[in-house]
Structure 1
Amino acid sequence: MLRSLDIHDLLIIDRLELTFRPGLNVLTGETGAGKSILLDALGFVLGWRGRAELVRAGAEQGEVVAVFDLPAGHAGRAVLQEAGLPAGNELILRRVNSSDGRKTAWVNDRRASGEVLRALSDTLVELHGQQDDRGLLNPRGHRALLDDFAQVQGILAEVGAAWSAFGAARKRLAQAEGALAAVQAEEEFLRHAVAELDKLDPQPGEEGVLDSERRAMQAANRIREDILRAHQALGLDGAEGPMRDALRWLEGVADSAEGRLDAPIEALNRALIELGEAEQGTADTLEALDVDPAALERCEERLFAIRALARKHSVAPDELGVLAQDLRTRLEALDGGAAQIVDLRAAMEAARVTHLEACAQLSARRADAAAKLDAAMAGELAPLKMERALFSTQITPAEPGPEGADQVAFTVATNPGAPAGPLNKIASGGELSRFLLALKVCLTRGDTALTMIFDEIDRGVGGATADAVGRRLARLAEDAQVLVVTHSPQVAARGAHHWRVAKAVSAGMTTSSVTPLDPDDRVDEIARMLAGDTITDAARDAARALLDA
């Protein structure tokens, strides 16, 4: 509930302090007195987008402070919590507009953004007029209004959860199908690569071992040639043959040399022994270095095959085993992909059916609520002198989604036999006001959290119809706070609390004031609304009659 509204230096308002009460609060006054400015001020502190220039001429800044009651469980508390703002039983909104156009807002003495103000506004105030900028005329919001009337929040949450589950299942299927398609596109390559890797079967570290063996065999071949030449040089065809010839020759003439050849002969014998050892050592080494050319060829072929395969797949030779396992996994995914797709499609279909079943339950609840709303509207339209009008809640199939599978539209036919159509296309100004009021009465039953503001919703009606409008507003205000800006004396007479808005000029400056009216002042104000500038006794009597009715 809106408790108070303080306005400083805004448009033609110098300073106003208004205290509002539960029930029907009525604001009246001459055209141009400033009634709409009060709504502009309230809209400003609530973050609504309105006039660009609000600061009163000559003032440095304009300021509006609004105080609301915020009982436990009020939706505004959730907005405050999400914004990290303190919440209590009292909500104080303050907003300042500087003369240079800057706007600054506070919520419970904490700085806040316009977005936070507007979010709070949705939980605090509803503004209704013949243009109904709060949504009753917008078909896009009719489904939500019907759902609130039907109190289907529980099944609506189930539909939303089922839709999310269906979407998740659909996403998993799409991902699996995409992955399978990608694997299928390279199936031939995968099977060839896996067969090639399996056939070669490279082992971790094998490339290094083969390289070492190859280097050793290549080195053996190179030194064996020199050792073979050395062995040949040491043998009979080399050094050993001439040395044995020399020894034979010396031993043949040794007796004639009188002992002078004994030492050379002994030296040659020793040399032949050493030479034999050298020859045997080289022979043993040749045998040890005897490399099988076929073994070297096999080693090189496998080494080169491993390296070529590594280059082909752009990996290190030791990573070929990991690559083979990865490719096998992808092939297994391909082989098992079809079965997985079948399972995922079944899961998606089950989720879709679950969602549609929840939508069907929601549709049934909406259809039942629509019939009740139409009946309630028929009951409300008759007292508003529209007993021949027909209000109908049209529910048509829509694409299934998170809010069900229904499209909802409120339609009216103002005369029997006339085609039904949208509210704002069929009804005249006065009829539209009464339709909106009746609809709001029906939709607001049991909802006392919002302060409802009706801006000249009685425009275009008078007499008994205006009286019916006033009585319906009073009924609406029995369980809620209602503010009405009106030019209708019949509506003003139904108010529980009455303020008069007046404009005055002093020292060349125009200001607007708002005065709470006592019972006598109310008589004079309603008499003015009936008779005009000259208030007669007859007008006062008529005013009293309206107040007592």
Structure 2
Amino acid sequence: MNMMLGSRASTDVIRHGSPKAEIEGFFSVGNNPHLEAILLENGIEVSDELIIRREIFQNGRSISRVNGQMVNLSTLKAIGQFLVDIHGQHDQEELMRPQHHIRMLDAFGDATFQQLKTDYQMLFDRYKSLRRQVLDKQKNVKENQARIEMLDYQMAEIEAANLQSGEDTSLQQQRERLMNHKLIADTLANAYVMLDNEDFSSLSNIRSAMNDLQTIEEYDTDYKEIAGSLGESYYILEDVTKRLGDLIDGLDFDAGLLNRIEARLDVINTITRKYGGSVDDVLTYFGNISKEYSLLTGSDLPSDDMEKELKDLEQRLISAAESLSQKRHELAQILSKDIKQELKDLYMEKADFQVVFTPGKFSREGNEQVAFYIATNPGEEAKPLVKVASGGELSRLMLAIKSAFSRRDDKTSIVF
């Protein structure tokens, strides 16, 4: 059966001397939108009957067909899950483990219930993760308090300095210019005078020489070349003279600015002596200790924000668990009713099946525990089935559960 529905093929099933083995199944199918969607998607005619045929050859290859249409194994498996529920020993073992009962009950729920549970589990996972972060942060803070306090002090001191990359170099240059203002002013003025002075102007003399040479450049190419070179020099010197004049006009000794620069450099030097050779070194150090601080405290978020978010998640988790529990109780009533009906068909018409809830710790399944109880004789109090059910009763109960689940899933067959 498993092989017909897409499990791994084995050549052991081929009769000796035969080229292949053929497995065929005939199924009557009702209204199943999910199954119909798969059939239509693969170009298979939808009808009340479904014929699955699989051929297995000696070389290990196999060919699968559904209503005559060839399909691959993944499609065959997808179709098979809506047709047959095959009972295995593992299923009965799960029934004997009460911790699995809650998942068995939840599996009976529809898509809306499954989404409700998924939403709860996502919320629980987020709560659990954040709670671990908060606890780790509290632990780290306690164990590394001295280091954290020192890093906190250093970060605050560096932040208060409001350092800018390259600031120390720029301020040093400004300071040097202001400290040497007289030397700079005298030098610039002297250079300007040497180039353009009323009594003796180098620029005027060069211009005169250039003009004279231009009057004879037509007589010899050398004269023309010299006149051109002299002209280039003149225009360069003229530009230099203009720039010197602009610099001299812009010179202004600002004692207040020098004092402010000196004060700022004092702050910078205090910081760089403690944390690095330059402002850029200090900024690199600040980045490193910020990362260490975040690691020791467990998060980039402040503790108050994390704890506030944790409390908010806790309230949402409680609300989600209550909603899940309410729907689960409704689901339990439906499942109990269906299983009781199935048990009647299995000659256990006097048996009583119950789903019992007890409060529990929060987990991914909710904040309650579920156990299946059964009473096989009238007047008996229902007790945990793992304690009172005999082997035969357990098998019939498993068949009843399988039947109830198969009817919900619109499966046509159960192999038990």
Equivalent position to 1:408, from 371, 376, 384: 371
Q: 1:493-508 counterparts in 2 under 5 A?
A: none
2:331 and 2:354 mapped to 1: Cα distance?
10
In structure 2, the residue matched to 1:54 is: 13
The AA in structure 2 aligned to 1:188 is M
Please report how far the alpha carbon of residue 350 of structure 1 lies from its aligned counterpart in structure 2 after TM superposition: 0.6
Q: Answer with 178-187 or 165-174: which moved more.
A: 178-187
The AA in structure 2 aligned to 1:194 is A
In structure 2, the residue matched to 1:358 is: 323
Please report how far the alpha carbon of residue 155 of structure 1 lies from its aligned counterpart in structure 2 after TM superposition: 4.3
In structure 1, the residue matched to 2:57 is: 98
Q: 1:303-322 counterparts in 2 under 5 A?
A: 304-305=269-270, 308=273, 311=276, 315-316=280-281
The AA in structure 2 aligned to 1:54 is V
Equivalent position to 2:120, from 159, 162, 170: 162
8 Å CA contact retained: 2:101, 2:371: yes
8 Å CA contact retained: 1:55, 1:61: yes
In structure 2, the residue matched to 1:450 is: 411
Q: 1:107-122 counterparts in 2 under 5 A?
A: 108-113=69-74, 117-122=76-81
In structure 1, the residue matched to 2:308 is: 343
In structure 2, the residue matched to 1:192 is: 154
Aligned pair 1:89/2:40, yes or no?
Answer: no
Match of 1:45, SS state, is coil
Question: Given the superposition, is the C-alpha separation of residues 73 and 309 from structure 1 closer, same or farther in structure 2, using an over 3 Å criterion?
Answer: farther
8 Å CA contact retained: 1:177, 1:341: no
2:44 and 2:155 mapped to 1: Cα distance?
67
8 Å CA contact retained: 2:101, 2:372: yes
Equivalent position to 1:126, from 75, 82, 85: 85
The AA in structure 1 aligned to 2:173 is S
Aligned pair 1:207/2:151, yes or no?
Answer: no
8 Å CA contact retained: 1:173, 1:348: no
8 Å CA contact retained: 2:125, 2:364: no
Match of 1:56, SS state, is coil
1:159 and 1:448 mapped to 2: Cα distance?
19
Please report how far the alpha carbon of residue 142 of structure 1 lies from its aligned counterpart in structure 2 after TM superposition: 5.1
Q: Once superposed, what is the RMSD of the aligned Cα atoms?
A: 5.5
Question: Given the superposition, is the C-alpha separation of residues 152 and 415 from structure 1 closer, same or farther in structure 2, using an over 3 Å criterion?
Answer: same
Q: Deviations over 1:349-383 (max 9, x none)?
A: 212211331243135325534653565356445xx
Question: Given the superposition, is the C-alpha separation of residues 123 and 423 from structure 1 closer, same or farther in structure 2, using an over 3 Å criterion?
Answer: farther
1:334 and 1:434 mapped to 2: Cα distance?
54
8 Å CA contact retained: 2:4, 2:25: yes
2:301 and 2:394 mapped to 1: Cα distance?
64
Question: Given the superposition, is the C-alpha separation of residues 104 and 74 from structure 1 closer, same or farther in structure 2, using an over 3 Å criterion?
Answer: same
2:72 and 2:343 mapped to 1: Cα distance?
47
Please report how far the alpha carbon of residue 127 of structure 1 lies from its aligned counterpart in structure 2 after TM superposition: 3.7
Question: Given the superposition, is the C-alpha separation of residues 219 and 53 from structure 1 closer, same or farther in structure 2, using an over 3 Å criterion?
Answer: farther
8 Å CA contact retained: 1:79, 1:120: yes
The AA in structure 2 aligned to 1:340 is D
Q: 1:13-412 counterparts in 2 under 5 A?
A: 42-48=1-7, 53-66=12-25, 73-76=32-35, 85=42, 89=46, 93-103=52-62, 108-113=69-74, 117-127=76-86, 133=89, 135=91, 138-139=94-95, 143=102, 146=105, 154-175=112-133, 186-198=148-160, 200-203=161-164, 205-213=166-174, 304-305=269-270, 308=273, 311=276, 315-316=280-281, 337-369=302-334, 372-373=337-338, 375-376=340-341, 379-380=344-345, 384=347, 386=348, 390-397=351-358, 399-404=361-366, 405-409=368-372, 411=374
Match of 2:82, SS state, is helix
1:358 and 1:103 mapped to 2: Cα distance?
49
- Structure 2 unaligned regions, length at least 5: 185-250
8 Å CA contact retained: 2:102, 2:371: yes
The AA in structure 1 aligned to 2:119 is A
1:111 and 1:46 mapped to 2: Cα distance?
11
The AA in structure 2 aligned to 1:195 is E
Please report how far the alpha carbon of residue 125 of structure 1 lies from its aligned counterpart in structure 2 after TM superposition: 0.9
1:412 and 1:428 mapped to 2: Cα distance?
15
Q: Deviations over 1:485-525 (max 9, x none)?
A: xxxxxxxxxxxxxxxxxxxxxxxxxxxxxxxxxxxxxxxxx
In structure 2, the residue matched to 1:261 is: none
Question: Given the superposition, is the C-alpha separation of residues 311 and 86 from structure 1 closer, same or farther in structure 2, using an over 3 Å criterion?
Answer: farther
Match of 1:109, SS state, is strand
Question: Given the superposition, is the C-alpha separation of residues 422 and 50 from structure 1 closer, same or farther in structure 2, using an over 3 Å criterion?
Answer: farther
8 Å CA contact retained: 1:176, 1:341: yes
8 Å CA contact retained: 1:43, 1:50: no
Question: Given the superposition, is the C-alpha separation of residues 410 and 209 from structure 1 closer, same or farther in structure 2, using an over 3 Å criterion?
Answer: same
Please report how far the alpha carbon of residue 348 of structure 1 lies from its aligned counterpart in structure 2 after TM superposition: 1.9
8 Å CA contact retained: 2:106, 2:328: no
The AA in structure 1 aligned to 2:19 is E
8 Å CA contact retained: 2:124, 2:317: yes
8 Å CA contact retained: 2:130, 2:306: no
Q: Deviations over 1:49-77 (max 9, x none)?
A: 68661112123333435565777643335
In structure 1, the residue matched to 2:243 is: none
The AA in structure 1 aligned to 2:85 is E
Please report how far the alpha carbon of residue 206 of structure 1 lies from its aligned counterpart in structure 2 after TM superposition: 2.7
8 Å CA contact retained: 2:166, 2:279: no
1:403 and 1:88 mapped to 2: Cα distance?
41
| TM-score, normalised with respect to structure 2 | 0.55
Question: Given the superposition, is the C-alpha separation of residues 222 and 301 from structure 1 closer, same or farther in structure 2, using an over 3 Å criterion?
Answer: farther
The AA in structure 2 aligned to 1:360 is S
Question: Given the superposition, is the C-alpha separation of residues 134 and 176 from structure 1 closer, same or farther in structure 2, using an over 3 Å criterion?
Answer: closer
1:171 and 1:210 mapped to 2: Cα distance?
49
Question: Given the superposition, is the C-alpha separation of residues 187 and 73 from structure 1 closer, same or farther in structure 2, using an over 3 Å criterion?
Answer: farther
- Structure having the higher Rg: 1
8 Å CA contact retained: 2:32, 2:410: no
Please report how far the alpha carbon of residue 123 of structure 1 lies from its aligned counterpart in structure 2 after TM superposition: 1.4
In structure 2, the residue matched to 1:522 is: none
Q: Percent identity?
A: 19
Match of 2:356, SS state, is strand
1:314 and 1:426 mapped to 2: Cα distance?
79
Question: Given the superposition, is the C-alpha separation of residues 208 and 186 from structure 1 closer, same or farther in structure 2, using an over 3 Å criterion?
Answer: same
In structure 2, the residue matched to 1:284 is: none
Match of 2:371, SS state, is strand
1:104 and 1:424 mapped to 2: Cα distance?
48
1:210 and 1:352 mapped to 2: Cα distance?
57
8 Å CA contact retained: 1:65, 1:95: yes
Please report how far the alpha carbon of residue 212 of structure 1 lies from its aligned counterpart in structure 2 after TM superposition: 2.3
2:406 and 2:271 mapped to 1: Cα distance?
82
